[in-house]
Structure 1
Amino acid sequence: EAVKAGAGRETAHEVIKEHAVQVAKDMRTGKVRENDLLARLVEDVRLTLTAEDMQRLVEAGKANAGDAPQQVDAFCAHVAAIKKEFPHAAKYEPGVIL
C-alpha cells in the first residue's frame, strides 16, 4: 500500500523494518508499554499512509487470519493444563548450551 501511495519499494521496506525493530527495542527496555508500530508508521512522512489506510490494512489482515486466533487459544489452554499438572516444569530455565 505504501508503494501504491508513492513510496519506493526499498524505502517502504526499510521504514517498516526500522520502526518494527525500534518498537521491539523500546518495548524490551520499557520505554513504551504498548506496541505503537502503526502510529509510528502513520507519522513517518516517507510512507504517506493515513491512519485510515493502516486500519484498513489491519482489518484485511484479520480477515485473512483464518482459524489462527482459535488455534492460539486452544494451544494456550493446552499449555495451561500442562503447567497445572507439572508446576515445577513451568519454572524450568535452560542452561547455556555452548
Structure 2
Amino acid sequence: MCQAKSDKFGREFVVISRWEPTSQTCSDCGYQWGKLDLSVREIVCVNCGNHHDRDDNASKNIEKVGVGHTHDSKRAGRECKTEVSAVPAELSTHIQYEQLKLFDW
C-alpha cells in the first residue's frame, strides 16, 4: 500500500532492514544503549543526556536510515548510495530548557 501511494504521488519509498536497532539507538548522538523492555516508553541517553520518547526516537532513526544519514552496512554489507547533496538538513531534536528542569541532574 505504501509503495503504491509513493508511486502515485511521485515519492521515493525505501525499505530498511527489520533488524535495524531504531529503538535502541539515541537519535541525537548515535549511542546504542541496547535492547529495552517494551514497557520502557521513555529513556534518557546516558551519553548525551537527551530525553527521548521511545516511538519518537525510533521514528527519527528510521528516517535517518531511509535518507542515508546512517545505514545497516554491518548487516547488509553495503555502502550508503545517497549523495550528500540529496540529504536534507537535520531538524533540531533538542528538548526545551523547561523540560530539562523536570530532571534532577
Larger helix proportion of the pair: 1
Q: TM-score, length-normalised on structure 2?
A: 0.28
Tell me the TM-score normalized by structure 1: 0.29
Higher strand share: 2
Work out which structure has the larger RCO, using CA pairs closer than 8 Å and 6 or more positions apart in sequence.
1
